[in-house]
């Protein structure tokens, strides 16, 4: 009997009927949740390992091939994960993690995924030691609070103004160091800083992103990229004989088509005689003449129209010396209205002189030997609107340069919003890791194991940076960490550029504090969510 007690558990169900749980089954029941968490961790680690090699200035790029064969070459974490076909549910959470970092901060999308992957990897060994997932999650939360506190302590204030942009420039260059545009990163960093300062309200620490438009055209080299103080639209004048340049432009910005009004209901018009046809033609001519008169009466000398217009309207516009641009998209129409301080007019009857947009110069620009033309609106009434015009040898480079500029603009924006920085090259992670490990020694509960695991996970960032730079990872990290502790200098990091200098302050490798803090918080939140999932249930269709 005693032997049986070792092997089986006797119990009863809710109706008092006895049944037996074998010891082996009981063990399986307990371990089922842990095994499920481990399978989730494996999926997340796989995704994190894909982007791990893209981290840092020497990180490698990935080629992404879409279902229709289109190629994207990038090392931007959010782009790689966003375009990957991911089946596993937890892997999808990592994709959303990088997207939320991209939406909120705009930079650090690779780092946040690598950190989340490292935290999940560490939690796997803690699960093997029998620590409950919730205790691990609680320990990670405590460790994250210590790490964020340490970031605040080691952060430095950077001074900047519209005249003194040196620190903003260094932050933008740090962001661009790992991108495909690194060959021209001084020029691109300057463009990003100029664009942000053109639209920023430094007193309110506000950067309205909708005033910065990034456009690109294949042809030319990256060095031909420039900042235009105004709006650039991929359109030309609707008639080749219209003037290609309009000075002191007064624009009628229309969202109504240049054509006679039609009945809203379904209609059928039967024309059975020449008189009726002439009558209809005269009606249309009269309507066209009325529309053009309304525009001319306001003093407008350029029409920007969201819709198209037929050849007759085009011919009449040209005869009346009224240059026009047609098929201008909704976002461009809005940007033109903001830049020229004009009003978007939905009906000809509403058009007045006060609603016209004003710009000093509107001109067509052509490219090389192609017939491609674009319209540049400069010297706008609202001088804050700017456009970055990216050039590149092929579409892939233009697209990646746009993504790189987005990250650099976001990095500069973050510094305008909060001008505290921590140092890159893994310096902030090493300092946080040391602080968390020190705090873990003072905690008597089981959570100290989770805190030490968090400290080890933070080391994954400098390890990946060293590995991607061709250095010996463990040796380099140990050396930098011991120097940080003995010299009490949290700005020491991995020398990715091989300049023989570990002081990131001297190398000018800056990261905005809010970007780094967000990485820690988002990664910890995601890991807590994953550790609390012990099963995946596919919900079926509801029963009738």
Instruction: State the Cα–Cα distance between residues 399 and 72, nearest whole angstrom.
Output: 8
**53, 74, 79, 110: the active-site residue:** 110
**407, 459, 495, 511: the active-site residue:** 407
Q: How far is CA 530 from the centre of its chain?
A: 24
* 110 given a catalytic annotation: yes
In this structure, the number of other CB atoms found within 10 A of the CB of residue 321 comes to 10
Q: If we measure between CA atoms, which residue out of 386, 243, 373, 252 comes closest to residue 306?
A: 252
Main-chain dihedrals φ then ψ at residue 455, nearest 5 degrees: -60, -40
Instruction: State the Cα–Cα distance between residues 413 and 512, nearest whole angstrom.
Output: 9
Nearby residues of 519 by Cβ (< 8 Å), 6 or more positions away: 101, 108, 111, 112, 115
Do 420 and 516 contact (CB within 8 A), yes or no? no
> DSSP readout, 315-371?
HHHHHTT--EE----HHHHHHHHHHHT--EESSGGG--GGG-EEEEEEEEEE-TTS-
**53, 72, 74, 76: the active-site residue:** 76
Task: Output the CA–CA distances (angstroms, integers) from residue 367 to 219, 236, 371, in the order listed.
Answer: 8, 13, 7
First to last CA, the chain: 51
Locate 301 and state its tokens. Answer: 């000398």
* 407 given a catalytic annotation: yes
Question: Which one-letter DSSP state was computed for residue 286?
Answer: H
* 152 given a catalytic annotation: no
* 441 given a catalytic annotation: no
Question: Which one-letter DSSP state was computed for residue 201?
Answer: B
Q: If we measure between CA atoms, which residue out of 79, 341, 117, 80 comes closest to residue 231?
A: 341
Q: If we measure between CA atoms, which residue out of 458, 438, 439, 253 comes closest to residue 346?
A: 253
Buried b (16+ CB within 10 A) or exposed e, 168-186: bbbbbbbbbbbbbbeebbe
> DSSP readout, 492-543?
B---TT-SS--BTTTTT-EEEHHHHHHHHHHHHHHHHHHHT--------PPP
By CB neighbour count within 10 A (0-12 exposed, 13-18 middle, 19+ buried), where does 150 fall?
Answer: buried
Nearby residues of 507 by Cβ (< 8 Å), 6 or more positions away: 425, 495, 497, 499, 501
> DSSP readout, 22-78?
EHHHHHHHHHHHHHHHHHHHHHHHHHHHHHHTT-STTPPPEEEE-TT--EEEE--HH
Per DSSP, helices labelled H in 274-324 are 274-297, 311-319
Instruction: State the Cα–Cα distance between residues 173 and 519, nearest whole angstrom.
Output: 20
Q: How many residues does the chain have?
A: 544
Q: If we measure between CA atoms, which residue out of 505, 497, 515, 498 comes closest to residue 57?
A: 497
Residues with a known catalytic role? 76, 109-110, 407
């Amino acid at each position: 009997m005693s032997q049986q007690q070792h092997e089986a558990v006797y119990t009863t169900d809710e109706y008092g009927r006895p049944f037996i749980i074998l010891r082996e089954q009981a063990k399986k029941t307990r371990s089922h949740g842990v095994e499920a968490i481990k399978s989730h961790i494996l999926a997340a680690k796989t995704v994190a390992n894909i982007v791990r090699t893209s981290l840092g200035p020497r990180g490698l790029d990935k080629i992404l091939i879409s279902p229709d064969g289109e190629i994207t070459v990038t090392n931007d974490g959010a782009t790689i994960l966003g375009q990957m076909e991911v089946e596993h549910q937890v892997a999808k959470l990592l994709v959303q993690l990088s997207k939320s970092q991209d939406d909120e901060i705009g930079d650090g999308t690779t780092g946040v995924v690598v950190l989340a992957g490292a935290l999940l990897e560490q939690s796997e060994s803690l699960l093997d030691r029998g620590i409950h997932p919730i205790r691990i999650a609680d320990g990670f939360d405590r460790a994250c609070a210590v790490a964020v506190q340490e970031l605040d302590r080691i952060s430095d204030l950077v001074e900047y103004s519209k005249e003194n942009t040196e620190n903003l420039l260094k932050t933008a260059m740090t962001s661009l160091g790992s991108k495909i545009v690194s060959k021209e990163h001084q020029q691109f960093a300057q463009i990003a800083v100029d664009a942000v300062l053109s639209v920023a309200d430094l007193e309110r620490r506000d950067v309205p992103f909708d005033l910065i438009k990034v456009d690109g055209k294949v042809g030319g080299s990256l060095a031909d990229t420039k900042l235009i103080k105004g709006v650039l639209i991929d359109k030309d004048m609707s008639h080749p004989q219209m003037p290609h340049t309009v000075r002191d432009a007064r624009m009628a910005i229309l969202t109504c088509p240049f054509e006679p009004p039609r009945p809203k209901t379904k209609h059928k018009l039967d024309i059975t005689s020449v008189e009726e046809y002439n009558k209809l033609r005269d009606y249309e001519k009269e309507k066209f003449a009325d529309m053009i008169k309304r525009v001319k009466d306001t003093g407008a000398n350029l029409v920007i129209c969201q819709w198209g217009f037929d050849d007759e309207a085009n011919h009449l516009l040209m005869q009346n010396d009224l240059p026009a641009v047609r098929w201008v998209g909704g976002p461009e129409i809005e940007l033109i209205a903001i830049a020229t301080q004009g009003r978007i007019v939905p009906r000809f009857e509403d058009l007045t002189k006060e609603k016209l947009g004003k710009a000093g110069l509107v001109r067509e620009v052509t490219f090389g030997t192609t017939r491609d033309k674009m319209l540049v609106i400069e010297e706008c009434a609202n001088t804050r609107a700017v456009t970055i015009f990216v050039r590149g040898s092929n579409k892939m480079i233009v697209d990646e340069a746009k993504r790189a500029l987005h990250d650099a603009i976001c990095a500069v924006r973050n510094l305008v919003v909060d001008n505290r920085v921590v140092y890159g090259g893994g310096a902030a992670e090493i300092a946080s890791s040391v602080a968390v490990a020190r705090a873990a020694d003072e905690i008597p509960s089981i959570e100290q194991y989770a805190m030490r695991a968090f400290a080890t996970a933070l080391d994954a960032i400098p390890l990946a940076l060293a590995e991607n730079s061709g250095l010996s990872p463990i040796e380099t990290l140990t050396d930098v960490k011991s120097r940080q502790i003995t010299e009490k200098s949290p700005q020491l990091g991995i020398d990715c550029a091989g300049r023989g200098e570990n002081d990131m302050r001297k190398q000018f490798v800056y990261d905005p504090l809010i970007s780094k803090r967000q990485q820690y918080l988002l990664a910890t939140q995601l890991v807590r969510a994953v550790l609390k999932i012990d099963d995946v249930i596919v919900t079926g269709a509801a029963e009738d």
